[in-house]
Chain A
């Protein structure tokens, strides 16, 4: 279909940009060159991934744009990348958010600009590579390599407790993913294949599946994160710089959901069936508990971080319903959350850059001075609540429709969480935006500038686009999801 390796180009373009930046000498004058180089590279990757979408064949459920090279001579490990309906939007999300992140850090990252941009470009390569891998070893390498730039981003450019947060992030997620390494090797030993495509059959005995499932669960549950493995997330979010939080919420959490769909559902269907009650329980606890916790927060970022855990609870419910609506809802919720929470963190970044505090108490009455900001913030806030017409609605609605087929208790839990999400988001919005300005320091705060408009308006447009034309996004992924569900149902009907 296409005669040049599009996927590889998208994966390695940021890395090439990083290499170029490595040779730019950094000082007061040239740091702007570094920023432009990073921005142009990431924009290039974004445009290429749009081409990927335009040329995507909707009627093909399996991988497209495949590239396969022998990588290890002794074992069947390949450099094997490709894109299907599930990974397409994850890649788009990564390439869409990274330029925005670079723009968001344009002025507020003053020290070590070079290292900062290097980390982000490396991070982008690794994220895209992870979503595009069809070989599990390749997937694992990218999955773990994500930790390196993120550790540096939190640790160098983060807040006061950045060291604690970066170590917690690194060790927590590493502990999860090393168990996955063992599981991957066990899979290889049983089948002599590392191809994700090949392994999406049913190749393992029941007991093996249970152990493999738990090992994968350890890494994805930490990554997504599920209650009670979520404690690293609020710390990491609060301490990370704005752009770090954006990538963390926007893309890194999706790795967990993506892994659940690909590995747990696709490769270990029988074990998944066995563990569904566990997942449902944990998810509902997560939704209700973290929503209540979010309500009590005094730090805006922490509130959004807890809301992420709640939203990811909806995603895990959707995934493990294993029906068409549930999975589509989960995918939509992941994309929507990627945009909305990223945008919310950027909004927090806007006022944090001006006032250098994230305390809710400090703000109030921002609408008086920042009307445009209040409008944009409202769009994202409503997207997070799940108002019809925004992206959040589609995901939550589909998950709840799917959940009716499974159990009405799950529906009650999920719906309760959605109501709570409206409570804490609207309450947050009321406290910081509405009213009159009581804090004198806010008296001459400025509305969003052009750079911030460039960042926030594309996000606002895509949130509404996703809410109004969900089929634009659902059509490409439908067949790939159906393939997984069919396979799952065949195995479990035996």
Chain B
């Protein structure tokens, strides 16, 4: 296949890896404005990578078959992750300048972490999966702690690192058990080996549980969610935005692939774990968010809740489930991009907005912004006619297709609880009387405005032509 050696550079991952190094050098030798230039270059690189993923043919991939896999599901999630990371680089540019954090390494870290995520999504082998996870996580650990003179940023970086390392250790132990009992690292070979048996033996069950724990940590499903609120809170807002938008996409794709490829025949074994994670995440996400006063912690719990819904679709484990997951993940990404685009441009008394109560009076001073926040919140709560509703709707279709009635009812109940805190934000903006007006500034760059308008457009107008996304997600195969 490699009759032309240059073909190798058109493999998206290799292209992204090489370009990341180019970006690094580019940033290093720039004297002026290194951060902005590198960010722009990074966005450009990611755009090219999307094109390469889109036109990627299987033939390019032949040499890595045992390590990485190739399917429409993988490509969809790769593009989603790339889009998320483009959006988060663009919306965070002004914020970084605002807090005088202009290290050109930040976009590079995002690039490396995105590379790790693409490998994670595509990995078809325990070893490549582990390495991809580590590449992704290490970049994120550094990113969380990037604001060196801030104690909270350092704390969140260290917390994330220690807990992340622990979960990687558990994951690795699980891998070793699986490898030990099946004799293979490749997903398909494991699946083939396991197809000869009706039951998993004890060692494999242990391995499976350990891997599940590690993956649950990565998607921040309850009870392995503890790091999420703290890391979200401590990291600079734009890093939080990246955390909320992109790594979840990769981790969800990975947990889907891990459950549905090597262990597809052992639904009963892993579905119990996922079922528990799902219910616990939905309810804890919904209830714990009620008491939060910090918007970033609130969004952290909200993302935990969303993970619960995505895991419902995994428990369903049918074609509708895969479809639901891709639609839900798309809506999740769009909503988070929109809310972070706003949060990264809102300043209260020259400080970036942290406390929810500071939103008071926003509806008077900035009616359009508060209307946008309300729409995003209602969409996150799953109220029609916004996109968030359709995400949930497809999840419940998948669940009921599998006759998971109790799980669906629990799911909708949790969504009612979570509606409370989303509504609370609307309440603070619209219902609470504020005496001091005009302390909130909304300054947004042209590029972020485009991203924001585009995502709001998708949130509102999805209902008019849903088939565009739905046809794509219906054709996905794992």
Contact = CB atoms under 8 A, between A and B. Distances in A.
- A and B physically associate: yes
Interface of A: 71-75, 112, 114-115, 137, 140-141, 144-145, 147-148, 151-152, 155-156, 162-163, 166-167, 170-171, 174-175, 178-179, 181-182, 185-186, 188-189
A74 B470 contact: yes
B419 A145 contact: no
Contact of A182 (B383, B408, B463): B408
B192 interface: no
Given A148-B383, A151-B423, A171-B416, A72 B466 contact: yes
A147 B381 CA distance: 12
A115 B400 contact: no
Interface string B294-327: 0000000000000000000000000000010000
Interface in B221-261: none
A81 B14 CA distance: 52
Interface residues of B, number: 33
Contact of B474 (A74, A163, A166, A189): A74
A145 B471 contact: no
A163 B423 CA distance: 11
A114 B370 CA distance: 14
A72 B384 contact: no
Interface in B412-431: 412-413, 415-416, 419-420, 423, 426-427, 430-431
B343 interface: no
A140 B427 CA distance: 25
B396 A181 contact: yes
A171 B419 CA distance: 8
B367 interface: yes
A236 to B, nearest CB: 14
B16 to A, nearest CB: 32
Contacts of B431: 155-156, 162-163, 166
15 contacts: A71-B466, A75-B397, A114-B367, A140-B384, A141-B463, A151-B423, A178-B412, A178-B416, A179-B409, A181-B393, A181-B412, A182-B400, A182-B405, A185-B396, A185-B408
Given A72-B467, A145-B384, A167-B420, A182 B412 contact: yes
Given A73-B470, A170-B423, A178-B416, A155 B383 contact: no
B330 interface: no
**Closest CB pairs A-B (n = 3):** A178-B412, A141-B384, A73-B467
B423 A167 contact: yes
B400 A186 contact: yes
Contacts of A163: 427, 431
Nearest to B467: A73
A185 B431 CA distance: 35
Contacts of B474: 73-74
Contacts of A188: 397
Contact of B427 (A137, A167, A174, A178): A167
B89 interface: no
Interface in B382-411: 383-385, 389, 393, 396-397, 400-401, 405, 408-409
A457 B388 CA distance: 44
Given A166-B431, A167-B423, A189-B397, 10 more contacts: A74-B470, A74-B474, A137-B393, A141-B384, A144-B389, A156-B430, A163-B427, A167-B427, A178-B416, A185-B393
A181 B383 CA distance: 12
Contacts of B420: 167, 171
B212 interface: no
Nearest to B378: A148
A335 B466 CA distance: 36
A141 B416 contact: no
Contacts of B423: 151, 167, 170-171
B401 A189 contact: yes
A163 B467 CA distance: 38
